[in-house]
Amino acid sequence: MKIFIDSANIEQIREVNSWGILDGVTTNPTLVAKEKADFGSIVKEICEIVDGPISAEAISTEVDEIVGEARKLAAVHKNIVVKIPMTEDGLKATKMLSKEGIKVNMTLVFSPAQALLACKAGAKYISPFVGRLDDVGHDGMDIVSQILDILDNYDFDTEVIVASVRHPGHVVEAARMGAHIATIPYDVLKKMFKHPLTDAGIERFLQDWQKVAKR
């Protein structure tokens, strides 16, 4: 399973990229707004750091405006993937852009039916938001499982990005299901390599080594 970081913070992206496990980046208007920096410069800098798909979201809502904005975003760098929300106009724009070779990440997907439409429209990626589904009493990972079942039945060139990840358990479930990608916030990524038994084991080894060194 590929691992993306869900962040627009340059320092976080640099750090996680240095671990050697990062395959791509997803951003959204909310994440970019937190950085209080120019959107274009942030995206360009991310593309210089990570050699993989970089999702940048179009904020337009009408099909012609979405397409125009997407073309500009895609021209920034070859790795740019345009995020487009799951709407009727978003589907129309996705179909048009996919014919032009512009990759689309259809975002704010909350049902298998929406995912099927996104695949049919030519989306390269679809992003089911598991955490937000959990928040309203649904099983977000069950939705991912249903989407993966649909993809297994047909020859769609679409990958599932498990999004709105809230904890390492979401990541493990995604990997067990065979999801193609999980896009993970920085704090969750940090939690993934932490375990109290690992810390205790290191402390024990160091204590034992100090005994050996004193001999």
Q: Is 214 a catalytic residue?
A: no
Which DSSP state fits 89? H
Q: Residue 201 is inside which H or E element, if any?
A: helix 196-213
How much is the CA Rg of the chain, to the nearest whole Å? 19
Decide the pairing of beta strands 181-184 and 80-85.
unpaired
Helix ranges (H only) for 36-139 are 39-49, 63-74, 88-99, 112-121, 130-135
Which of 2, 44, 72, 83 is catalytic? The answer is 83
Sign, CA torsion 148/51/167/165: negative
Number of C-alpha atoms within 13 angstroms, CB side, residue 151? 26
Burial-class residue 81 by CB neighbours within 10 Å (0-12, 13-18, 19+). buried
Contact 41, 70 (CB under 8 A): no
Contact 122, 99 (CB under 8 A): yes
Catalytic residue set: 83
